[in-house]
């Protein structure tokens, strides 16, 4: 098992702007299946994924947007567990936000937030 250098380079670029704790990098098939209940095709099995937590929840979304610009093919903002999953999959890309039991594409979620801020009454 090896950790992808492409992942490390992108991760370093992200951490320079958004300091974080790395909670998971690579994993074994046993831990992935029996303990974490991760996907069978998890990029953590091939050293191509990382999970991060930030000091403040408000950093999740800006960090996710930056991760997309860095070329991470897999980006998942998980507001249930307050972590950011990043991986270097190739297309089709997967950019998702999980919040309050719902799933959105990152793009749709950002649009939703924008619409909500436009529609909310200003004081
Ligand atoms: Zn992950």
CB atoms within 10 A of CB 38: 18
From the CA of 50, how far away is ligand 1's center (Å)? 6
From the CA of 74, how far away is ligand 1's center (Å)? 9
DSSP 72-91: -SEEEEETTTTEEEEE---S
* Amino acid 39: pLDDT: 79
From the CA of 41, how far away is ligand 1's center (Å)? 11
Complete domains list, the chain, with CATH: 5-119 (3.30.1380.10)
% of the chain at pLDDT higher than 70: 98
CA pseudo-torsion sign 72, 57, 102, 43: positive
CB atoms within 10 A of CB 45: 19
- Given a contact cutoff of 8 angstroms between Cβ atoms, the answer to whether 106 and 77 are in contact is yes
* Amino acid 37: pLDDT: 75
From the CA of 118, how far away is ligand 1's center (Å)? 33
d(Cα 96, Cα 99) in Å, to the nearest integer? 10
11 phi, psi to nearest 5 deg: -65, -45
In the predicted structure, residue 94 carries a pLDDT above the cut 70: yes
Of the two residues 79 and 123, the one the predictor is more confident about is: 79
Confidence (pTM): 0.91
From the CA of 98, how far away is ligand 1's center (Å)? 13
Beta bridge partners, 80, equal none
In the predicted structure, residue 31 carries a pLDDT above the cut 70: yes
Residue among 95, 60, 99 at smallest CA distance from 79: 99
**pLDDT, tens digit, 9 for 90 and up, residues 41-81:** 899 999 999 999 999 999 999 999 999 999 999 999 999 88
């Amino acid at each position: 098992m090896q950790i992808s250098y492409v992942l490390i380079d992108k991760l370093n670029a992200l951490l320079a702007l958004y300091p974080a704790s790395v909670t998971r990098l690579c994993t074994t098939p046993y831990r992935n299946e029996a303990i974490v209940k991760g996907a069978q095709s998890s990029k953590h099995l091939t050293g191509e994924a990382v999970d991060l937590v930030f000091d403040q929840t408000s950093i999740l979304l800006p960090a996710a947007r930056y991760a997309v610009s860095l070329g991470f093919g897999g980006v998942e903002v998980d507001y249930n567990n307050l972590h950011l999953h990043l991986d270097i999959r190739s297309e089709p890309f997967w950019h998702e936000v999980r919040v309050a039991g719902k799933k959105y594409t990152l793009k749709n979620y950002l649009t939703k937030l924008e619409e909500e801020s436009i529609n909310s009454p200003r004081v």
